Amino acid sequence: MFNTVCVTARKLSSNFLDTIEKLAKSKVQFIILREKDLNENEYFELAKNVNEICKNHNKTLVIHKYFECAKKLGIKNIHLPFSDFADFENDGFFQNIGTSIHSVKDAVFAESHGASYITAGHIFTTDCKKGFKPRGVEFLKYVCQSVKIPVYAIGGINENTVQKLAEAESKNFCGVCVMSGFMKCQNPSALINKIETEYFYMKKNVKQSILLYAITDRHWLCGRSLEEDVEKALNGGATMLQLREKNIDDEKYIYIAKSIHTVCQKYNVPLIINDNVNVCLKSGAEGVHLGQNDGNAAEARKFLGNDKIIGVTARTVEQAVKAEQDGADYVGSGAVFGTNTKGDAVKMSFDTLKNICSTVSIPVTAIGGITSDNVLQLKNSGVSGVAVVSGIFAADDIESSVRELKIKASEVVNGRLN
């Protein structure tokens, strides 16, 4: 789970309590009231007002440093500077105690002395720490590997830098703390969405995954199991797999998807479910692919959340643009060479494919009649990968066909850099 936490700095806000009101209405996980220049009495008066706003919107407020203020307000959440945490003894009042750490040693100490979570920083360059070198993503990775309690990154976090944090992904990396970004923006909810979108996009690694996108078709099994043929494709080097099952109920679809997902996990390859968001969610698959008549990406995103991959079929520039605006992670465009797999597929011109690729910023995978004999014709189209059905699963030697296709797909993708 990836969450966004607000750390306050009222001097950066033109209307601090109005900013708090907006934050309390957003999906920020909690708010740390960190106003280091105030003495305890001044802090208490401000905390009373902030606490009222948070209570009105059922938002968690965390008191920074002044634990007596927290007790007076009945707030059982405290965040302490590490120097204060080292000497702090909880009398049983506080349910959640966080602290800021700046070394792996600090992190291990915090965990062993009862910290509920830690903030690790500063990760990126920030005006709050002018002149101090950032510790970087590698530091964050080491911290996450060294402890089991939740870890939040802090320092220079915004919608651009957050992409790099995907490299630190681990079970206990729980999100980011943002200060100036929240204090200065008019729409905290929009900022949170940007941060989450950028983080999950990089985490999903879609651009690399769609290089050779295998799509199943039972028509070619000839007595073999689907799992067997999928394993051959993945062993050959397919980088993403779409499970396409038609005319079956959700219960059976979920059962098949779970079985195929087990194979995909063995090769660390994302499984995409064709057309069915319910099956995607209940099978644990990494994503869903939607045709133009199967709902839109915006609705799917609400249902599935930000961590799932969503692909959309786009046969025109307009459809591709809408898919991107709706939150799709990639579009599939074709049929680039015509196809017998889908009877309603119309052949797409090279110019249309090229226009789609140059218009949207999300990756585009070409689909439709692609084989090792024609795939190199897609050079300089701008595609990030190719999606193949019969060119893989109708082959006499699936593994060998996939290996050859992957080499040529790489040449196609790299060719657009020439």
User: What is the tens place of the pLDDT at every residue in 164-182?
Assistant: 998 887 889 999 999 999 9
**Are 289 and 242 a contacting pair, CB within 8 Å?**
yes
pLDDT band for 343, please (50, 70, 90 cuts).
low
C-alpha 366/C-alpha 414 separation (Å) is: 15
pLDDT of 416 above 50: no
| Prediction pTM value | 0.72
CB 8 within 8 A of CB 172: no
Tell me the per-residue pLDDT of 6-56, one tens digit each, with 9 for 90 and over.
Answer: 999 999 999 999 999 999 999 999 999 999 999 999 999 999 999 999 999
Q: What is the mean pLDDT of residues 405-417?
A: 84
d(CA 352, CA 182): 41
pLDDT at 306 over 80: yes
Q: What is the mean pLDDT of the chain?
A: 94
More confident residue, 356 or 126: 356
More confident residue, 203 or 241: 241
- The pLDDT of residue 418 is 32
Locus of tokens 């001097």? 11
Give whole-number Cα distances, 20 to 30, 133, 288, 327, 332, in Å: 11, 30, 37, 28, 42
